[in-house]
Structure 1
Amino acid sequence: MFNNQDFRIFEAPTLAERMQLIQQQIDPKFEDFAKLALPILEEDGQAWYAHVAKHLRRTVYPPDNTWVAFAPNKRGYKMLPHFELGLWDDCLYLYLSFLENLKQDATKQALWTERIQAQQSHFLDLPQNFVISPNHMEPAVISLDATNFERTVMQFGQKKHTEFLVGLRIAKGDPRFGTADLDYALCEALRKLQNVYECIRVQSE
């Protein structure tokens, strides 16, 4: 599905050139992955929807990354915990995402922080190669361990413009690109993240 040549889209210097490559080369692959992801997600009995990034607000600068998000809402995804598969210029990633859009007010901020903290053991039981991203707009990640979990979630609960994302990051050049092993790794990561999501979902009902 995805291969190392896909990263070359980020070499296109202009917005128009990069968007053309994203739409022609990457978006169809996101749609193909959705055919694998949605049946996995819908095992929980909910209807799930794929939201491919359109980058409509960009008028000058080309996007630094692109993605497809999966959420149980047809109209949007940022206001809910959701899954996101995307590309930066150096990696492919798959995250369970809690964005700042969840925190419409102090009550919501405290509520989601408590729900995430309550599942610390489940997060820390994820594979050792999983990582934390504190900002969906930046490629930097930190290792998934107790110290980083507690610090990132504490910031999520104290500061408005903070986020918590956790999942799998596969670096450009990984030998699984261009093979069925990559599709398998992504689906397995999604299943593991979905197990954590389900714990939070049950807690929130």
Structure 2
Amino acid sequence: MTFTGFTDEDFDVFKIDGLDERMDALKQHIRPKLEELGKHFTPELSALTGDEMFSHVAKHARRTKNPPKDTWVAFAANPRGYKMMPHFQIGLWETHLFIWFALIYEAPNKEEFGKKLANHADKIFNETPEDFVWSLDHTKPEVIEQNGLSTEELIAMFTRLQTVKKAEILCGYQIPRQDAVQLSSEELIKKIGSVFKTLIPLYKL
């Protein structure tokens, strides 16, 4: 199979009630597409980062009752997992597609990374496109828009990463569902690729 883009049916998976029912639909409709994106972007991200990258499609294996509200493929320089590493993600909520660079709460080097981010805050502020977004919690769909941020607010987010145990930082781009379903597979791949290129300096820190 080659990646065919996303459809309304894919996004509607998150409306299905029941853990088993939603998981079955997710495995049938979305997971094969995430696996294809994984195959496509693993060599590209390996070349961009200079690290050998591996793709990890979310399995949602620990869930016993709550059906997943989002799903994703993650890319990290570790064949066994990604949560403890700085990583990239492509995924879906019911409302939008997301493309992230992420460091989540399980990463052991968050404090050190938070300091590096704070030290480069002016550069990061100036080089992050206006239409990019930030998140402080990968489990929630809400984001902070770059075009409404000040450097001081960005530094406060980076400081929080150093001091709060559960803190996270994600930076990237969202495509609203109604736009994502209109894009061809080629257009989507091109857009995701350009977002990843923009995010590489954050990874390299």
User: Residue 78 in 1 paired to residue 83 in 2?
Assistant: yes
Task: Please point out which of 162, 187, 192 is paired with 1:186.
Answer: 192
For 2:156 and 2:25, the matched residues in 1 are separated by 38
Task: Please point out which of 165, 176, 201 is paired with 1:195.
Answer: 201
For 2:159 and 2:25, the matched residues in 1 are separated by 39
* CA pair 22-116 structure 1, distance change in 2 beyond 3 A: same
* CA pair 39-155 structure 1, distance change in 2 beyond 3 A: same
Asked if the contact 2:8–2:181 (Cα under 8 Å) also holds between the matched residues in 1, the reply is no
Q: Over aligned residue pairs, what C-alpha RMSD do you find? A: 1.7
Q: Which moved more, 1:179-188 or 1:71-80?
A: 179-188
Query: Once the 2 structures are TM-superposed, how far is the Cα of residue 122 of structure 1 from its aligned partner?
Result: 4.2
Which stretches of structure 1, 4 residues or more, deviate above 4 A after TM superposition? none
Query: Deviations along 1:152-184, whole A, 9 cap, x unmatched?
Result: 212212211111000001111116644132221
**Alignment length, in residue pairs?**
195
Percent of pairs with identical residues? 32
Query: Once the 2 structures are TM-superposed, how far is the Cα of residue 81 of structure 1 from its aligned partner?
Result: 0.5
Asked if the contact 1:133–1:166 (Cα under 8 Å) also holds between the matched residues in 2, the reply is yes
Residue equivalent to 1:17: 21
* Residue segments in structure 1 that go unaligned for 5+ positions in a row: 201-205
Asked if the contact 1:3–1:178 (Cα under 8 Å) also holds between the matched residues in 2, the reply is no
Asked if the contact 1:40–1:191 (Cα under 8 Å) also holds between the matched residues in 2, the reply is no
* CA pair 126-176 structure 1, distance change in 2 beyond 3 A: farther
User: Residue 171 in 1 paired to residue 176 in 2?
Assistant: yes
For 2:107 and 2:64, the matched residues in 1 are separated by 27
Normalising by structure 2, what TM-score? 0.88
Residue equivalent to 1:61: 66
